[in-house]
Amino acid sequence: MVVAHHLARSTARSMEREAVCRYLSETNLEHATLQFCERFDEKSRIWNFSKHSHPFFELIFFLEGKANIDAGSESVDVLGFDVVIYPPGLEHAEHLDLRHRQEIICLWADTGPTPSFNHAIKLLDERGTLRTLFEMVYAEFTANRPRSAELISCYLQTIFLHVLQHFSQPPREVTSLVERSLGYIHEHYSRNFDIDELASQVAVSPSYLFRLFKKKMQVTPMHYRNMIRIDKAKLLLADHQLTVDDVAERVGFEDPKYFARVFRELTGLTPSGYRRSRLPD
């Protein structure tokens, strides 16, 4: 039964992706024109919290926040780094979780006559490309420079093409991305790499990986690396030929004082105290 349920969900996701691809392929994306562009937070009066629709595509990039969206007959949960696209004529309403700060970039794009589509389109900005494109549209719109309209039309088309590309590819499993990140951390824990380097190993944006990793592991990637370092340090502290500073250096801490602080935070003991507690009576 579990296998059958998984296959049914996988088949449904595949059908949904095919439907989005078919819909966007039937839409004239080459001459998209911008009808509205704004960047705002949860305090803005621009929000329309009643159910409504537009005659254009509405594209929203959630820079920060958490919300639930009613779109057609469906309910969609969104978080930071999510993109939501409402096709023309689709009734929708956003319900913000005001325990979180909200910030979005909202665009309306006119692509001319468009086939009907009764679903919101949602995707995660895995590589950080969509955020860049949304910000480029906003920057060009607010600067009001010569040839802005043409550039914005190109950016809008590129956004749609990235969305089409996303749904044309097999879905990437979140679990495999985190597992690959864990493998890299375990192999290179003693090096001082940052989140950018870790994200490049799994070909996603740092912000996207940070969110996925923390959701699955309940800690940030760098905190997890410290946990691994301290576990390794516990083993090395059993070797009394190594000083505490030697151990700190071997597991990747350049500053012995910082090593001691992290060690105490994670174990409740100083490195020396931990070594003494393991001495035979």
Of the residues 168, 195, 224, which one is the last residue of a structural domain?
168
Helix ranges, 145-205 (H): 148-168, 174-188, 195-202
Statement to judge: residues 19 and 71 lie in one domain: yes
Statement to judge: residues 141 and 196 lie in one domain: no
Statement to judge: residues 161 and 187 lie in one domain: no
Host domain of residue 195: 174-277
pLDDT at position 114:
92
Global pTM value: 0.67
CB 119 within 8 A of CB 96: no
- For every one of its 281 residues, what pLDDT tens digit does the chain have, with 9 covering 90 and above? 333 333 334 434 555 889 999 999 999 998 899 999 999 988 888 899 999 999 999 999 998 888 999 998 899 888 777 899 999 999 999 999 888 788 999 999 999 999 999 999 998 887 778 989 999 999 999 998 899 999 999 999 999 999 999 999 877 666 678 888 888 898 889 999 999 999 988 878 898 899 889 888 889 999 999 999 998 999 899 888 999 999 999 999 999 999 999 999 999 999 999 998 877 65
CATH of the domain at 273: 1.10.10.60
CATH of the domain at 40: 2.60.120.280
Of the residues 128, 146, 168, which one is the last residue of a structural domain?
168
Statement to judge: residues 65 and 178 lie in one domain: no
CB 49 within 8 A of CB 94: yes
Statement to judge: residues 123 and 196 lie in one domain: no
Statement to judge: residues 147 and 181 lie in one domain: no
Statement to judge: residues 117 and 22 lie in one domain: yes
Statement to judge: residues 143 and 18 lie in one domain: yes
Statement to judge: residues 157 and 225 lie in one domain: no
Give the side-chain half-sphere CA count within 13 A for 60.
26
Statement to judge: residues 271 and 179 lie in one domain: yes
pLDDT at position 179:
83
Of the residues 145, 168, 191, which one is the last residue of a structural domain?
168
Statement to judge: residues 50 and 186 lie in one domain: no
Statement to judge: residues 76 and 203 lie in one domain: no
Q: How many domains does the chain have?
A: 2
pLDDT at position 15:
59
- Residues 3-31 as b or e (16 or more Cβ within 10 Å = b): eeeeeeeeeeeeeebeebbebbeebebee
